[in-house]
Amino acid sequence: MSEPRLVEVRKNVLKQNDITARALRERFRNDGVFVASLVSSPGSGKTAFLERILTELQPEYRVAALVGDLATENDAMRLARSHAPVKQIVTGTICHLEAAMVERALEGWQPAPLDFLFIENVGNLVCPSSYDLGESVRFVLMSVTEGEDKPLKYPTIFNSADVAVITKLDLAAAVEFNSVAAHANIQAVRPGMKIFEVSSKTGEGIKDFLRFLTEQVPARKNPVSAN
């Protein structure tokens, strides 16, 4: 297959993905669901962070999660400890989630009504940047153990995300993480980007993140006592 043909196929795939993503976004908007996707490299602490967020949001909000992985359901099993509805999307050889995968996963499953739906993407900082999932906001995560230059190495994913989250803050001193440099590198790639520093282990920074998250949907607060 010639290179022009490959480019044409890729454009068609992305075009169809965008069409599906727009339909999903409209569906979520009509259902009153705030959708947050999380992208990061493997080992960034994404699943631990999401488990903490799901746990903290309950019982005040109705939450659920879709989890993408190449081969296992391990992450879904971990997130299930939060007692939130969780469904795994096994992607096989595909290194990212696509809008059609999200659409299929929701068929006959989506708990209703929801306040928040989280989508944890496959651990990868390259492929997910091109695929809109119909989310309201995209968070890109990087851990203190990955180095301060992560944004400079993977600028596309930081440009396609809305908010950056620096994880594993409890290990910052041990790995001599330079927070100032990390923030500067993020801002160099995406000026004005909001940044959170958190530790899923100690809880540091979690309250600030939750405050930001819940401020996005103040009218959707649904205490369990009201159910």
8 Å CB contact between 135 and 142: no
Domains and CATH numbers, the chain: 3-217 (3.40.50.300)
Return the sign of the alpha-carbon dihedral for residues 128, 39, 210, 65.
positive
Instruction: Pull the structure tokens for residue 2.
Output: 């010639």
Q: What is the pLDDT of residue 94?
A: 83
d(CA 188, CA 150): 12
Q: Which residues of 102-133 are buried (b: 16+ CB within 10 A; e: fewer)?
A: bbebbeeebeeebbbbbbbbbbbbebbbbbbb
d(CA 82, CA 85): 9
pLDDT in tens for each of the 227 residues of the chain?
455 654 555 566 688 999 999 999 999 999 999 999 999 999 999 999 999 999 999 989 999 999 998 666 677 788 888 889 999 998 887 888 999 999 999 998 866 689 999 999 988 899 888 899 999 999 999 999 999 999 999 999 999 999 999 999 999 999 999 999 999 999 999 999 999 999 999 999 999 999 999 998 755 544 444 33
| 3-state DSSP assignment of residue 125 | coil
